[in-house]
């Protein structure tokens, strides 16, 4: 954060770290105490039990696979769907944002599809594509697609008209304006869209796996629910959080590299 309101000095970083440790420490102590000393412990396992379960399952077996393998299954689905969905989404979004005619054609259709959450497509995608990978990838495609389209469109539309007029005055062609002004100006918005898209894809793959699957993190927590195994659910949730966190970090790093001039304050 270089341009924003709160400019932390370097010395503040230590204070930040200390405060973070205190906050998280308090949370863990509260969790531990709550489960060890009160009746809550009968329902919810403590942090140590959950950590042990993760340690055991990481390379051991939860269901038919290790936790690592479950993560791998979920990630593979997300990556394929996200890649296709975001490519199509960015292209369509920029087109719709910049060319009025493209917006007139696609926007009404997009507006009919978009409010339907990708998760609501689960039943029909199972009928259309069966129980295999295709259905899940289709769902993740939808999740990534609608978010990136929306944001790329907003990005292309919010370009400063003065800049465009200046370019026109200096004799830039329509295509030059698009590639040298609209595209770079939309990048921050596109990245905001990609970040939403990746978390939405991640949520969608979990839902898809929860509804119908025999592997993946979504399966892990729903199997925990069916077996009344709270430890498995919580270790699944922790793993889901870790993966989600790593995905977010990757997106943020990519954003830092690709649009250095406009960080979104994350």
Partner 1 sequence: MKDNKKIKYLCISILSVLAVIVIWYICIDVVHMKPETVFPGPVKVFRSFIDKLSSKAPDGATLQAHLWSSIKVALLGYALGAVIGVPLGIAMAWNKWVDRFVRPLFDLIRPIPGLAWIPMFILLFGIGITSKALVIFLGALIACIVNSYTGIRQTKETHLWVGDVFGATGSQKLFRIAIPTALPMIFTGLRVALGTSWTALVAAELLASTKGLGYMIQQARAISRPDIIIVGMLAIGAVGAVFDALLHLVEVKVAKGMNVK
Which of 96, 182, 194, 221 lies at the binding interface for partner 1 (CB under 8 A)? 221
Single residue of 120, 131, 163, 258 touching partner 1 by CB under 8 A: 120
- Tell me the sheet residues that pair with 65: 62
* C-beta closer to partner 1: residue 8 or 59: 8
Q: How many helices (H) and strands (E) does the chain have?
A: 11, 0
Q: Which is nearer to partner 1, 127 or 257 (CB)?
A: 127
Among the candidate windows 55-63, 82-90, 210-218, 253-261, which touches partner 1 by CB under 8 A?
Answer: 210-218
Q: Which is nearer to partner 1, 240 or 259 (CB)?
A: 240
- Judge contact between 47 and 28, C-beta under 8 A: yes
55 or 108: CB nearest partner 1: 108
- Buried b / exposed e across 108-143, counting CB within 10 Å, b at 16+? eebeeeeeeebbebbeebbeeeeeeeebbbbbbbbb
Q: Return the number of the residue (183 or 196) whose C-beta is nearest partner 1.
A: 196
Selected binder of partner 1 within 36, 160, 245, 256 (CB under 8 A): 245
Taking the least distance from each CB to partner 1, the nearer of 22 and 91 is 22
Which of 48, 68, 91, 104 binds partner 1 (CB under 8 A)? It is 104
d(CA 196, CA 204): 12
Q: Which of 57, 93, 155, 236 binds partner 1 (CB under 8 A)?
A: 236
Cβ count near 263 (within 10 Å): 16
* 84, two tokens: 């296709």
| Cβ–Cβ < 8 Å for 84, 75 | no
Q: Which of 54, 207, 251, 259 binds partner 1 (CB under 8 A)?
A: 207
Q: Per CB under 8 A, which region of 31-39, 49-57, 103-111, 251-259 contacts partner 1?
A: 103-111
Which one among 32, 75, 199, 252 touches partner 1, defined by CB under 8 A?
199
Residue 247 within binding range of partner 1, rule CB under 8 A: yes
Which of the residues 10 through 69 are near partner 1 (CB under 8 A)? 12, 15-16, 19-20, 22-24, 27, 43-44
H-run or E-run covering 215 = none
Cα separation values, 190 from 82, 162, 194, 219, Å: 14, 21, 6, 31
- CB distance 209 to 217 below 8 Å: yes
Q: Using the rule CB under 8 A, is 234 a contact of partner 1?
A: yes
**Residues of this chain, 82-101, that bind partner 1 according to CB under 8 A:** 100-101
Q: For the segment 147-166, give every residue that binds partner 1 (CB under 8 A).
A: 154, 157-158
* Contact status, residue 144 vs residue 81, Cβ threshold 8 Å: yes
Kindly state whether residue 131 participates in binding partner 1, applying the rule CB under 8 A. no
Could you give the count of Cα atoms lying within 13 Å of 12 in the half-sphere of its Cβ? 4
């Amino acid at each position: 954060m270089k341009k924003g309101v709160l400019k932390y000095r370097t010395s503040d970083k230590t204070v930040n770290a200390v405060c973070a440790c205190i906050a998280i420490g308090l949370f863990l102590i509260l969790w531990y105490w709550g489960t060890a000393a009160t009746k809550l412990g009968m329902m919810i396992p403590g942090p140590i039990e959950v950590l042990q379960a993760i340690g055991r399952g990481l390379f051991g077996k939860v269901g038919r696979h290790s936790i690592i393998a479950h993560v791998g299954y979920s990630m593979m689905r997300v990556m394929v769907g996200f890649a296709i969905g975001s490519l199509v989404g960015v292209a369509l979004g920029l087109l719709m944002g910049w060319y009025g005619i493209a917006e007139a054609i696609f926007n009404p259709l997009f507006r009919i599809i978009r409010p339907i959450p990708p998760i609501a497509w689960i039943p029909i995608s199972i009928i259309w594509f069966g129980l295999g990978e295709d259905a899940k990838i289709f769902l993740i495609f939808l999740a990534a697609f609608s978010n990136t389209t929306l944001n790329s469109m907003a990005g292309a539309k919010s370009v400063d008209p003065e800049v465009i007029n200046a370019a026109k005055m200096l004799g830039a062609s329509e295509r030059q304006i698009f590639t040298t002004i609209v595209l770079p100006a939309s990048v921050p918005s596109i990245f905001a869209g990609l970040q939403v898209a990746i978390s939405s894809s991640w949520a969608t793959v979990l839902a898809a796996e929860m509804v119908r699957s025999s592997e993946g993190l979504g399966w892990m927590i729903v199997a925990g629910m069916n077996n009344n195994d709270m430890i498995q659910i919580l270790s699944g949730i922790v793993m889901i959080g870790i993966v989600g966190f790593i995905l977010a970090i990757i997106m943020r790093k990519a954003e830092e590299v690709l649009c250095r001039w406009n960080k979104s304050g994350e």
